[in-house]
Chains A and B, each alone.
Chain A
Amino acid sequence: MDFDLTDEQRLLKDSVDRLIADQYQFEQRKKYIAEPDGWSQAVWQQYAEIGLLGLPFAEAHGGFGGGPVETMIVMEAFGRGLVLEPYFATVILGGGLLRRAGTPTQQQALLPQVAQGKLKLAFAHVERQSRYDLADVATTARQDGAVWVLDGAKSVVLHGDCADRLLVTARVSGDRRDRMGIGLFMVDPAAAGVSRRGYPTQDGLRAAEVALSDVRVPQDDTLDDSGGALPAIEHVVDEAIAALCAEAVGAMQEMHETTLEYLKTRQQFGRPIGQFQVLQHRSVDMLVALEQARSMAMFAAVTAAEQNATERRRAIAAAKVQIGRSGRHIGQEAIQLHGGIGMTMEYKVGHHFKRMTMIDKLFGDADAHLETLARLGGLFGKAQAA
């Protein structure tokens, strides 16, 4: 049992940390938001150069064979820097779906392009009614000869506006919320019948609404039309949640440190406000929340590859609950302890708070995951018969 990083992982951490320190100062980030895509093409190429875009892919696919711990290292750094580029959408979600649900031919053709920074992906799944239920898919796929024809609408598609390909869930059979009958298709946004409307999200990232009307998907672009795609999607989403937990820890760490620094420098009543006990105690409680969150992000990382879906689900759900709660606590306290300056758009802590708040609403908030965990019997006692 250890929590140490291997030498390779430490090297990875050093290089990502350095990149974020060099390229993601708060003022630099403001400039990236103003670029046409809402993020930096130049930084994206740097991710490719140091191997981040292929990190979780097999070497045969132009990647580095990294696992959830490597992803954790990258995402934590990205959380500190509030990275804007479509890494999560492209590499974690899109790449994950190709890895777990794509055909060998598709993997061979597409993953190397992702690794080189030439192909951006997005996961078009959420619908108006689905909330956090991954099985709730109303978008339909009907067969027309060798071609599948998609109809429906997808919402809040993360980085769907800049994606070169959309990975779309659609129902090949069954009723709206059936676990069986879900297919996965790759759609070219330029194809006939696809329309998308991009917009900024609360945290400064980007998303899109996607409408699909008689969109014809050639056989080569069908990832899974057996109707049994859900388990693979769930595994990818669990890995994605583990990644979000790490990103959240990076954001929380930054908020905690920024607040601490402020308490030590801000003078009122003739002394640094950090000398007031009420603020000291609140700052300690932020640390407790941070360390609990960090522990659960690690737990999520070491369980994300677990094949037993129920065990994995328990762990990931528990982690997302902790992240949601710790994140809300630390975020609100960070703003409060800063006072007025924390409310301003020009100060960074509010941006971490906003990202943290949005992370809670991605792939299930704390309440949703608490419900899941409770339904699965919790973590201890009976649940841990072994």
Chain B
Amino acid sequence: MDLAFTPEEIAFREEARRFFHSEIPQAIRDKVAEGEGLTRDDMITSQRILNARGWATPNWPVQWGGQDWSPVQVYMYQDEMQQANVPPPIGFNVTMVGPVIAQFGNEQQKQYFLPKTANADIFWCQGFSEPGSGSDLASLRTRAEHKGDKYVINGQKIWTTLAQYADWIFCLVRTDLAAKKQEGISFILVDMKTPGITVRPIVTIDGGREVNEVFFDNVEVPDENLIGQENKGWDYAKFLLGNERTGIARVGASKAKVARIKELASMERVGDRPLIDDPRFREKLAAVEVELKALEMTQLRVVADERQREKGKQNPASSILKLKGSVIQQQLTELLMDVVGPYVLPYQRDFDGRNEPVIGPDYATEAAPMYFNYRKVSIYGGSNEIQRNIVAKAILGL
């Protein structure tokens, strides 16, 4: 048992840290640190810088621009990226649709989509959830009828994150009404400019506009946009969801938040001393740090174990990464509000931007919105209750 990394691994970590700090614009990283929303341009700019170095899609097959990294390197890349407040590569592109196209797409689809997806020339969004299909995703009803060389899509998707930025959407659609619910689903790529698509924003409790409803009204899609075989979409979706790995714990991002909380709590004063010296506050923070350290160790156990495991087989400990990681992220947003104090109150957002000049210290602006927004972390990607169902069945055998 040894926590030391090899000199090569340490060199890689330093290289990553240097790259992230020197190449990704400070203005973008500051926004991430403060929890301010990124613009479409911010995300694309950041991703193109990563892609120019081959670091946007390390998880892809090498022939399509992936890196042949060890699990430790993947961990360090993610950890340093998160700690440096670098926006992660667009998840819909890089961890979701890209690997599906690389694995199940035909040659033409790979040639066309993968380079553009890596470089964010296409901004993707994900059309999975529907109003009646949340945790029970396989009950989805958006219908795609195969007519000649087209599919005609009718239905509605919801919680479609950043659909307002997206050029394309990858959808799960029902292509066979008679089959068992998992066996009548197909995976299809749709150009957002196709007539019949309407995007309607859903404003979330933080005042943000991240998610949308997407309506499909007789949307005609060439059948060459189908991925793999008709009615096999559920398998591809499971593959996609199974790609979430250790990064899901977001330990690096939480470490960055702890550092930020400490910095701000040294500036905020309570009575005659900095807040960071208030025993009650610092004990609350230390309690979260303990859980975060434990999670970091758990993550390292998973990383170490991954080297010896066949691909696709998960360490039982990995299942707790999302459960615990999400709660820690949420707790840190509570602490950030505690730091800010009464300047949490002013509402400084509207849909066109922020009120200027801001009321109170700059860092106060996003504290409450981030807290409100982060309630999503234990809901999306399979709610924590669904995660518990999975662990109970797959690991505990209940």
How many angstroms between the C-alpha atoms of A69 and B1 in the bound complex? Answer: 7
Question: Are B287's CB and A260's CB within 8 A?
Answer: no
Q: Whole-angstrom distance from the CB of A249 to the nearest CB of chain B?
A: 12
- The contact sample of 16 A-B pairs, CB cut-off 8 A, is A1-B2, A3-B1, A5-B1, A260-B398, A280-B388, A280-B389, A284-B388, A285-B388, A288-B324, A296-B290, A296-B293, A302-B3, A318-B290, A374-B286, A379-B290, A381-B259
How many angstroms between the C-alpha atoms of A260 and B393 in the bound complex? Answer: 12
Partner of A1 from B4, B263, B298, B320 at Cβ < 8 Å = B4
Partner of B294 from A263, A284, A295, A375 at Cβ < 8 Å = A295
Partner of B290 from A69, A301, A321 at Cβ < 8 Å = A321
Partner of B291 from A301, A322, A375 at Cβ < 8 Å = A322
Q: Is B179 an interface residue (CB 8 A)?
A: no
Name which residue of chain B comes closest to A303, CB basis.
B3
Stretch at the interface among B28-36, B91-99, B109-117, B277-285: B277-285
Q: Whole-angstrom distance from the CB of B331 to the nearest CB of chain A?
A: 14
CB-CB under 8 A from A302, the residues of chain B are: 1-3
Which residues B24-56 have CB closer than 8 A to chain A? Answer: none
CB-CB under 8 A from B290, the residues of chain A are: 296, 318, 321-322, 370, 373, 379
Q: Whole-angstrom distance from the CB of B65 to the nearest CB of chain A?
A: 27
Q: Whole-angstrom distance from the CB of B63 to the nearest CB of chain A?
A: 29
Question: Are B291's CB and A292's CB within 8 A?
Answer: yes
CB-CB under 8 A from A299, the residues of chain B are: 293-294, 297
Question: Are A379's CB and B1's CB within 8 A?
Answer: no
A291-B289 contact given A1-B4, A380-B258, CB 8 Å threshold:
no
CB-CB under 8 A from A349, the residues of chain B are: none
How many angstroms between the C-alpha atoms of A76 and B236 in the bound complex? Answer: 42
How many angstroms between the C-alpha atoms of A378 and B287 in the bound complex? Answer: 9
Partner of A380 from B255, B283, B324 at Cβ < 8 Å = B255
Q: Is B23 an interface residue (CB 8 A)?
A: no
Q: Is A277 an interface residue (CB 8 A)?
A: yes
Question: Are A379's CB and B292's CB within 8 A?
Answer: yes
Partner of A3 from B258, B262, B294, B304 at Cβ < 8 Å = B304
Q: Whole-angstrom distance from the CB of A284 to the nearest CB of chain B?
A: 4
Q: Is A160 an interface residue (CB 8 A)?
A: no
Q: Is B353 an interface residue (CB 8 A)?
A: no
Q: Whole-angstrom distance from the CB of A84 to the nearest CB of chain B?
A: 28
Question: Are A293's CB and B287's CB within 8 A?
Answer: no
How many angstroms between the C-alpha atoms of A381 and B285 in the bound complex? Answer: 12
Interface string of A354-386 (1 = CB under 8 A from B): 000000000000000011011100111110000
Question: Are A277's CB and B258's CB within 8 A?
Answer: no
How many angstroms between the C-alpha atoms of A281 and B385 in the bound complex? Answer: 8
Q: Is B200 an interface residue (CB 8 A)?
A: no
Name which residue of chain A comes closest to B281, CB basis.
A374
CB-CB under 8 A from B267, the residues of chain A are: none
Q: Is A35 an interface residue (CB 8 A)?
A: no
CB-CB under 8 A from B287, the residues of chain A are: 321, 370
Q: Is A48 an interface residue (CB 8 A)?
A: no
Question: Are B279's CB and A281's CB within 8 A?
Answer: no
B residues touching A (Cβ–Cβ < 8 Å)? 1-5, 9, 72, 255, 258-263, 279, 282-283, 285-287, 289-295, 297-298, 300-301, 303-305, 316-317, 320, 323-324, 385, 388-389, 391-392, 395-398
Q: Whole-angstrom distance from the CB of B275 to the nearest CB of chain A?
A: 13
Q: Whole-angstrom distance from the CB of A182 to the nearest CB of chain B?
A: 26
Q: Whole-angstrom distance from the CB of A350 to the nearest CB of chain B?
A: 22
CB-CB under 8 A from A373, the residues of chain B are: 286, 289-290
Q: Whole-angstrom distance from the CB of A27 to the nearest CB of chain B?
A: 27
Which residues A242-299 have CB closer than 8 A to chain B? Answer: 260, 263-264, 274-275, 277, 279-281, 283-285, 287-288, 291-293, 295-296, 298-299
Q: Is A22 an interface residue (CB 8 A)?
A: no
CB-CB under 8 A from A375, the residues of chain B are: 282
Q: Is A4 an interface residue (CB 8 A)?
A: yes
Q: Is A2 an interface residue (CB 8 A)?
A: yes
Partner of B1 from A2, A288, A296, A378 at Cβ < 8 Å = A2
Question: Are A378's CB and B317's CB within 8 A?
Answer: no
CB-CB under 8 A from B5, the residues of chain A are: 1
Partner of A288 from B286, B297, B320 at Cβ < 8 Å = B320
Question: Are A280's CB and B9's CB within 8 A?
Answer: no
How many angstroms between the C-alpha atoms of A296 and B298 in the bound complex? Answer: 9
Partner of A318 from B289, B392, B395, B398 at Cβ < 8 Å = B289
Name which residue of chain A comes closest to B391, CB basis.
A284
Which residues A308-355 have CB closer than 8 A to chain B? Answer: 318, 321-322
Closest 9 CB pairs of A and B: A381-B259, A295-B297, A280-B392, A374-B286, A292-B294, A374-B282, A381-B262, A284-B388, A274-B398
A292-B294, A292-B320, A380-B262 provided; 5 other pairs, C-beta below 8 A? Answer: A4-B1, A292-B298, A318-B289, A371-B283, A380-B259
How many angstroms between the C-alpha atoms of A321 and B255 in the bound complex? Answer: 19
Question: Are A291's CB and B304's CB within 8 A?
Answer: no
Question: Are B297's CB and A298's CB within 8 A?
Answer: yes
Question: Are B286's CB and A295's CB within 8 A?
Answer: no
Question: Are A1's CB and B3's CB within 8 A?
Answer: yes
Q: Whole-angstrom distance from the CB of A243 to the nearest CB of chain B?
A: 15
Interface string of A42-70 (1 = CB under 8 A from B): 00000000000000000000000000010
Partner of B293 from A274, A318, A381 at Cβ < 8 Å = A318
Question: Are B323's CB and A288's CB within 8 A?
Answer: yes
CB-CB under 8 A from A301, the residues of chain B are: 1
CB-CB under 8 A from A378, the residues of chain B are: 258, 262, 282, 285-286, 289
Partner of A381 from B258, B305, B320 at Cβ < 8 Å = B258
CB-CB under 8 A from B4, the residues of chain A are: 1
How many angstroms between the C-alpha atoms of A271 and B287 in the bound complex? Answer: 40
Name which residue of chain B comes closest to A259, CB basis.
B396
Count chain B CB atoms within 10 A of each CB in A1, A322, A375, A379 and give the residue with the most.
A1
Count chain A CB atoms within 10 A of each CB in B287, B290, B395 and give the residue with the most.
B290
Name which residue of chain A comes closest to B288, CB basis.
A378
Question: Are A296's CB and B297's CB within 8 A?
Answer: yes
Which residues A97-111 have CB closer than 8 A to chain B? Answer: none
CB-CB under 8 A from B295, the residues of chain A are: 292, 295
Count chain A CB atoms within 10 A of each CB in B260, B283, B285, B297 and give the residue with the most.
B297
